Amino acid sequence: AQSVTQLGSHVSVSEGALVLLRCNYSSSVPPYLFWYVQYPNQGLQLLLKYTTGATLVKGINGFEAEFKKSETSFHLTKPSAHMSDAAEYFCAVTGYGQNFVFGPGTRLSVLP
Protein backbone atom coordinates (compact mmCIF):
# COMPACT_ATOMS: atom_id res chain seq x y z
CA ALA A 1 0.00 0.00 0.00
CA GLN A 2 1.12 3.52 -0.69
CA SER A 3 0.22 6.90 0.74
CA VAL A 4 1.33 10.50 0.54
CA THR A 5 1.10 13.28 3.08
CA GLN A 6 1.73 16.93 2.37
CA LEU A 7 2.35 19.12 5.38
CA GLY A 8 0.47 22.39 5.04
CA SER A 9 -2.62 22.70 2.91
CA HIS A 10 -1.75 26.34 2.28
CA VAL A 11 1.68 27.96 2.16
CA SER A 12 2.30 31.68 1.66
CA VAL A 13 5.65 33.15 0.73
CA SER A 14 6.81 36.56 -0.35
CA GLU A 15 8.00 37.09 -3.88
CA GLY A 16 11.71 36.28 -4.02
CA ALA A 17 11.61 34.10 -0.92
CA LEU A 18 12.43 30.41 -0.71
CA VAL A 19 9.63 28.00 -1.52
CA LEU A 20 9.53 24.75 0.45
CA LEU A 21 6.62 22.35 0.03
CA ARG A 22 6.80 19.18 2.06
CA CYS A 23 5.95 15.66 0.95
CA ASN A 24 6.31 12.40 2.83
CA TYR A 25 5.34 9.04 1.46
CA SER A 26 4.99 5.43 2.41
CA SER A 27 5.43 2.63 -0.06
CA SER A 28 5.76 -1.14 0.09
CA VAL A 29 7.91 -1.14 -3.05
CA PRO A 30 10.72 1.12 -4.26
CA PRO A 31 8.92 4.39 -4.91
CA TYR A 32 8.73 6.52 -7.96
CA LEU A 33 7.92 10.06 -6.88
CA PHE A 34 6.41 13.00 -8.71
CA TRP A 35 5.37 16.60 -8.22
CA TYR A 36 2.54 18.00 -10.27
CA VAL A 37 1.32 21.59 -10.48
CA GLN A 38 -2.20 22.76 -11.18
CA TYR A 39 -2.69 26.39 -12.11
CA PRO A 40 -6.14 27.88 -11.58
CA ASN A 41 -8.71 26.36 -13.89
CA GLN A 42 -6.12 24.25 -15.64
CA GLY A 43 -5.14 20.59 -15.76
CA LEU A 44 -2.27 18.90 -13.95
CA GLN A 45 1.22 19.37 -15.31
CA LEU A 46 4.29 17.38 -14.35
CA LEU A 47 6.91 19.46 -12.56
CA LEU A 48 9.53 16.80 -11.91
CA LYS A 49 10.01 13.13 -11.14
CA TYR A 50 12.29 10.73 -9.36
CA THR A 51 12.52 7.14 -10.56
CA THR A 52 16.08 5.92 -10.10
CA GLY A 53 19.55 7.44 -10.06
CA ALA A 54 20.34 10.91 -8.81
CA THR A 55 18.32 11.77 -5.73
CA LEU A 56 18.28 15.50 -6.47
CA VAL A 57 16.06 16.11 -9.43
CA LYS A 58 15.45 19.33 -11.29
CA GLY A 59 12.22 20.24 -12.94
CA ILE A 60 10.62 23.02 -14.87
CA ASN A 61 10.38 26.64 -13.74
CA GLY A 62 13.37 26.38 -11.41
CA PHE A 63 11.90 23.80 -9.05
CA GLU A 64 13.84 20.90 -7.65
CA ALA A 65 13.24 18.08 -5.19
CA GLU A 66 15.41 15.69 -3.25
CA PHE A 67 14.54 12.07 -2.57
CA LYS A 68 15.59 11.10 0.94
CA LYS A 69 14.91 7.44 1.53
CA SER A 70 15.85 7.53 5.20
CA GLU A 71 13.28 10.26 5.81
CA THR A 72 10.74 8.95 3.26
CA SER A 73 10.56 12.49 1.95
CA PHE A 74 10.49 14.24 -1.39
CA HIS A 75 10.26 17.94 -0.57
CA LEU A 76 9.91 20.50 -3.35
CA THR A 77 11.97 23.68 -3.32
CA LYS A 78 12.60 26.78 -5.35
CA PRO A 79 15.17 29.37 -4.30
CA SER A 80 13.15 32.44 -5.28
CA ALA A 81 9.38 32.54 -5.61
CA HIS A 82 7.72 34.30 -8.48
CA MET A 83 4.15 35.51 -8.65
CA SER A 84 3.50 33.04 -11.45
CA ASP A 85 4.27 30.15 -9.08
CA ALA A 86 0.94 30.59 -7.31
CA ALA A 87 -0.87 27.31 -7.85
CA GLU A 88 -1.83 24.00 -6.26
CA TYR A 89 0.99 21.48 -5.92
CA PHE A 90 0.47 17.75 -5.64
CA CYS A 91 2.99 15.12 -4.63
CA ALA A 92 2.42 11.59 -5.94
CA VAL A 93 3.92 8.14 -5.51
CA THR A 94 3.78 5.00 -7.55
CA GLY A 95 5.87 1.90 -7.97
CA TYR A 96 6.14 -1.19 -10.08
CA GLY A 97 2.66 -2.62 -10.46
CA GLN A 98 1.19 0.01 -8.16
CA ASN A 99 -1.46 2.66 -8.50
CA PHE A 100 -0.67 6.36 -8.72
CA VAL A 101 -1.44 7.86 -5.31
CA PHE A 102 -1.66 11.61 -4.83
CA GLY A 103 -1.30 13.71 -1.73
CA PRO A 104 -4.02 16.18 -0.72
CA GLY A 105 -2.21 19.11 -2.30
CA THR A 106 -0.65 22.34 -1.06
CA ARG A 107 -1.89 25.69 -2.27
CA LEU A 108 0.99 28.11 -2.75
CA SER A 109 0.31 31.83 -2.53
CA VAL A 110 2.99 34.34 -3.47
CA LEU A 111 2.71 37.75 -1.88
CA PRO A 112 4.08 40.86 -3.56
Partner 1 sequence: GAGVSQSPSNKVTEKGKDVELRCDPISGHTALYWYRQSLGQGLEFLIYFQGNSAPDKSGLPSDRFSAERTGGSVSTLTIQRTQQEDSAVYLCASSLTGSTEAFFGQGTRLTVV
For residue 31, what is the DSSP state?
-
Choice between 14 and 51, CB closer to partner 1: 51
Query: Does the protein bind partner 1 through residue 40 (CB under 8 A)?
Result: no
Q: How far apart are CA 27 and CA 111, in angstroms?
A: 35
- Residues 6+ away with beta carbon under 8 Å from 107: 9, 10, 11, 87, 88, 89
Of the chain, the end-to-end C-alpha distance in Å amounts to: 41
Q: Which of 7, 17, 49, 62 binds partner 1 (CB under 8 A)?
A: 49
Choice between 18 and 29, CB closer to partner 1: 29
Binding to partner 1, residues 69-108 (CB under 8 A)? 90, 92, 94-105
Helix, strand, or coil (residue 85): helix
Selected range binding partner 1 among 17-25, 38-46, 63-71, 72-80, rule: CB under 8 A: 38-46
Binding to partner 1, residues 8-27 (CB under 8 A)? none
Angle at 26 between CA 58 and CA 9, to 5 degrees: 70
State in angstroms the smallest separation of the CB of 106 from partner 1: 10
Residues near partner 1 (CB under 8 A): 32, 34, 36, 42-46, 49, 51, 90, 92, 94-105
